[in-house]
């Protein structure tokens, strides 16, 4: 599934461009594709923070973009949410 995020369809590429607004689908510093799914109030901050979740499939064309194992490897996460 390796490749450039946004190369699967023009809709994802446009959604990530953020030319007219701050994009809700972005690539994090570790190379993981995230979608903002909510807001959370943060102490000591005037504006709410974004809650991001990894995107595994393109929300527009359905192409697989990254796997949970690839995300864990990139983020160094050892959390097993499936075991909870």
- pLDDT digits over 8-29, tens only? 999 999 999 877 778 899 999 9
pLDDT of residue 81: 52
pTM listed for this prediction? 0.79
pLDDT of residue 80: 53
pLDDT of residue 53: 96
Dihedral, CA of residue 43, residue 40, residue 76 and residue 17, to nearest 10:
-120
Query: Is the distance from CB of 36 to CB of 15 less than 8 angstroms?
Result: no
pLDDT of residue 2: 47
pLDDT of residue 78: 67
Which parts of the chain have pLDDT scores under 50?
Answer: 2, 82-84
Q: What is the b/e burial string over 4-16, where b = at least 16 CB atoms within 10 angstroms of the residue's CB?
A: ebbebeeebeebe
Integer-rounded Cα radius of gyration of the chain: 14
pLDDT of residue 83: 46
Exposed, middle or buried by CB within 10 Å (0-12, 13-18, 19+), for 60? middle
């Amino acid at each position: 599934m390796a490749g450039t995020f946004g190369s699967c369809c023009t809709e994802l590429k446009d959604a990530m461009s953020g030319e007219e607004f701050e994009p809700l689908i972005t690539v994090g510093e570790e190379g993981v594709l995230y979608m903002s799914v909510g807001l959370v109030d943060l102490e000591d901050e005037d504006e709410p923070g974004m809650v991001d979740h990894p995107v595994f499939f393109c929300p527009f064309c359905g192409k697989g973009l990254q796997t949970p194992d690839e995300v864990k490897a990139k983020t160094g996460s050892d959390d097993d949410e499936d075991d909870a």
